[in-house]
């Protein structure tokens, strides 16, 4: 094969070239495999294999996003076989064998390689191969697969492949004829919309079943290509071109004879495929440049392992620290999520990340998208942070993030790992009480409660919904006797409860009337509503050690002050001095004075009848009492109604003094 232009690709219809592939300064297309100024195939070899002994260097490329380098293990290995092994057929129809024999030396590939770069926003792929012999015409092709195409195990009498074609897979076909002096190059893309070939296909037409022709050219030698070429190719121009890896051709040469080494490049962005990620590549030899040509030898390998990964971490609402737990607070807790996207095998890519929150974990859990999908590209500064999510119920919640790739060949990715879960903890409201004053037996004692620090109950929509109603439940007041265990008895309800509705400094007061004196203790217990997980119960004065909750039921003390009183009365005995006059009959008139000589106004004036045999004693029945020391005198007379007896005139007969000395006051203690 002589020095010739072997890859000639024109622009995709209507698309001007942005970057010339042969002079991008990122990769050398100079007809050899060894670095001079920019990256070259010896560095691709090392980056792929890591073997300095194999590749002749211990340096990798400077910025290739995907590389492939494959060595054919032995001559006549991996040879196409079977009538279905043709480019228009899907890979599921392809078959291959080892050591099949009959392969022309000029079609026997020894190594194949590829590298991908991003150049000023365009995606460029460089590719190449070397072969066992340069004698005779040869046709070759390069496939770039988006699926992870690879050889597989037995399939009937041969072997098969894994993976399938995807729309946008690229095929570059080159024809080496007349010793390489003539080259016809065509670029196709896999297109399942092509049912058959056009009569005379031109750029944009279906070149065959499943293959759309992008362009054809025979005038794009990298050594003479213009400044804006979208593609070019060339072979080594002279014998003796050094091989950086172990190489031996049919003639025994350990360097490349003229035309045994081939390399080229294509700007994918110019054919609208810059967004595709290719997972595998294959270099193939063929019987002709026809799309239905029989395929011969191939060297296939991975190309950058197109993939994506997503790592995430739950964060607090301020995005200032990782999050494992948070309090429900007053009823709404907030959290965020972080995500980092890593893409391999493709320098430029795009997509979106959707954050979601699942919880609270359990039978009623829901999953809610948090915020809109966040656009991301290779230029995004990672990690990215989600919008804040609010939850209105305690429990365990788990973030998840999903990367939706918009770059064909770059797979989607999700992450819902252990770093994504956090717990929302309930609150314990503060319960305090204040008992009323001590009382006298027969009166009620009272107690009042203060409940603060409650959280609202869960809302109807737990994630990103409104807070629920105020904390509910009850506060139960219990009055205990001095031993802190015996329930107080008396009048009223004990224990008794009041309903709760959120924070309140004055629940109650409640009251109860004990039936005995003594020391009593109030105890209060808050019990949340049955369907309220956000608040925990709390107890105040459960051990009766809060003196503010102690009340005493007392008796009233008494005192006694003695004071003497006297009742002045008089008595006389009436008798007849001789017998024979019959019974006494008449009346005695008593006049009592508060003096010693019957002067003044009488304090007692009473007439008492006298009748009966002599003698008769009669007296006054005065009921007026006196409480001070006094002198009393009495004047009496007898009026007889028995003519046989004489009357007695009023006479001041007696006087007496009474002295009172009261004894003071006695107390009950």
User: SS3 string of 242-293?
Assistant: CCCCCCCCCCCCCCECCCCEEEEEEEHHHHCCCCCCCCEEEEEEECCCCCCC
Report yes or no: 497 and 476 within 8 Å, Cβ to Cβ. yes
Q: Please report the pLDDT score of residue 17 as a whole number.
A: 41
State the Cα–Cα distance between residues 526 and 543, nearest whole angstrom.
Answer: 15
Q: Please report the pLDDT score of residue 136 as a whole number.
A: 72
H/E stretch holding 399: strand 395-405
Its pTM stands at 0.65
Report yes or no: 387 and 319 within 8 Å, Cβ to Cβ. no
Quote the DSSP letter at residue 227: T
Selecting from 2.30.30, 3.30.70, 1.10.3470, 2.60.40, what CATH number does the domain 562-658 have? Answer: 2.60.40
Positive or negative: CA dihedral 506, 512, 518, 523: negative
Which is nearest to 300 in space by CA: 317, 319, 320, 280?
Answer: 280
**Residue spans per domain, the chain:** 21-302, 307-425, 430-556, 562-658
Quote the DSSP letter at residue 39: B
Give the CA angle between residues 200, 203, 207 to the nearest 5°: 50
Q: How far is CA 427 from CA 452, 474, 532, in A?
A: 11, 16, 11
Low-confidence ranges of the chain (pLDDT < 50): 1-18, 178-182
* CA 331 from centre of chain: 14
Which is nearest to 326 in space by CA: 534, 537, 538, 539?
Answer: 534
3-state DSSP call for residue 115? strand
Pairing between β-strand 109-119 and β-strand 122-131 as defined by DSSP bridges: antiparallel
Beta-bridge partner residues of 39: 27
Radius of gyration of the chain (CA): 60
Domains 307-425 and 430-556 share a fold: yes
**φ/ψ of residue 627, rounded to 5:** -115, 10
3-state DSSP call for residue 35? coil
Q: Please report the pLDDT score of residue 4 as a whole number.
A: 33
Q: What CATH number belongs to 430-556?
A: 2.60.40.3930
CATH topology for 307-425 is Immunoglobulin-like (2.60.40)
Report yes or no: 261 and 237 within 8 Å, Cβ to Cβ. no
State the Cα–Cα distance between residues 267 and 405, nearest whole angstrom.
Answer: 22
606: number of Cβ within 10 Å? 17
């Amino acid at each position: 094969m002589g020095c010739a232009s072997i890859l000639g690709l024109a622009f995709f219809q209507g698309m001007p070239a942005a970057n010339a592939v042969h002079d991008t300064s990122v990769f050398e297309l100079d007809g050899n495999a060894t670095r001079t100024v920019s990256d070259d195939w010896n560095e691709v070899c090392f980056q792929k294999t890591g073997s300095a002994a194999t590749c002749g260097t211990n340096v990798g490329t400077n910025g290739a996003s995907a590389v492939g380098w494959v060595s054919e293990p032995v001559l006549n290995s991996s040879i196409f076989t079977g009538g279905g092994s043709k480019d228009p057929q899907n890979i599921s129809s392809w078959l291959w064998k080892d050591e099949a024999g009959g392969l022309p030396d000029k079609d026997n590939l020894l190594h194949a390689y590829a590298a991908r770069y991003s150049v000023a926003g365009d995606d460029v792929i460089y590719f190449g191969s070397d072969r066992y012999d340069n004698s005779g015409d040869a046709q070759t092709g390069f496939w770039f697969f988006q699926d992870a195409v690879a050889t597989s195990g037995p399939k009937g009498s041969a072997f098969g492949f894994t993976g399938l074609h995807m729309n946008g897979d690229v095929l570059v076909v080159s024809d080496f004829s007349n010793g390489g002096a003539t080259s016809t190059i065509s670029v196709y893309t896999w297109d399942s919309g092509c049912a058959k070939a056009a009569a005379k296909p031109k750029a944009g037409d279906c070149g065959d079943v499943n293959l759309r022709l992008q362009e054809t050219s025979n005038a794009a030698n990298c050594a003479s290509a213009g400044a804006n070429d979208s593609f070019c190719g060339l072979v080594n121009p002279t014998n003796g071109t050094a091989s950086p890896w172990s190489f031996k051709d049919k003639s025994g040469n350990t360097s490349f004879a003229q035309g045994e080494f081939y390399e080229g490049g294509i700007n994918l962005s110019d054919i609208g495929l810059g967004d595709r990620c290719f997972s595998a590549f294959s270099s193939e030899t063929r019987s002709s440049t026809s799309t239905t040509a029989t395929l011969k030898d191939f060297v296939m390998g991975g190309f950058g392992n197109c993939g994506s990964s997503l790592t995430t971490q739950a964060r607090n609402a301020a995005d200032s620290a990782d999050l494992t737990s948070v309090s429900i607070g007053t009823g709404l807790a907030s959290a965020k999520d972080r995500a980092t996207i890593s893409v391999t095998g493709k320098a430029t890519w795009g997509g979106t990340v959707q954050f979601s929150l699942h919880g609270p974990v359990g039978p009623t859990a829901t999953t809610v998208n948090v915020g809109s999908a966040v656009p991301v590209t290779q230029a995004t500064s990672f990690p990215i942070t989600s919008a804040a999510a609010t939850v209105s119920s305690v429990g365990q919640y788990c973030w998840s993030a999903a990367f939706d790739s918009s770059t064909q060949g770059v797979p989607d990715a999700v992450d819902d790992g252990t770093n994504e879960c956090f717990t929302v903890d309930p609150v314990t409201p503060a319960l305090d009480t204040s008992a009323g004053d001590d009382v006298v037996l027969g009166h009620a004692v009272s107690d009042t409660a203060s409940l603060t620090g409650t959280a609202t109950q869960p809302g109807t929509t737990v994630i990103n919904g409104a807070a629920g109603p105020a904390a509910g439940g009850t506060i139960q007041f219990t009055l205990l006797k001095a031993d802190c265990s015996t329930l107080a008895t008396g009048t009223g309800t004990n224990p008794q409860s009041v309903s709760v509705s959120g924070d309140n400094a004055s629940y109650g007061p409640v009251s109860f009337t004990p039936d005995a004196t003594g020391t009593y203790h109030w105890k209060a217990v808050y019990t949340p509503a049955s369907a309220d997980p956000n608040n925990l119960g709390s107890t105040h004065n459960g051990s009766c050690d809060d003196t503010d909750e102690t009340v005493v039921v007392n008796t009233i003390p008494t005192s006694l002050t003695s004071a003497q009183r006297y009742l002045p009365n008089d008595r006389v005995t009436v008798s007849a001095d001789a017998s024979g006059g019959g019974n006494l009959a008449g009346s005695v008139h008593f006049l009592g004075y508060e003096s010693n000589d019957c002067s003044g106004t009488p304090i007692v004036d009473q007439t008492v009848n006298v009748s009966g045999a002599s003698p008769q004693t009669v007296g006054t029945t005065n009921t007026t009492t006196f409480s001070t020391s006094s002198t009393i005198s009495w004047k009496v007379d007898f009026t007889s109604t028995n003519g046989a007896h004489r009357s007695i005139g009023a006479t001041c007969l007696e006087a007496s003094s009474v002295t009172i000395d009261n004894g003071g006051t006695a107390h009950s203690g």
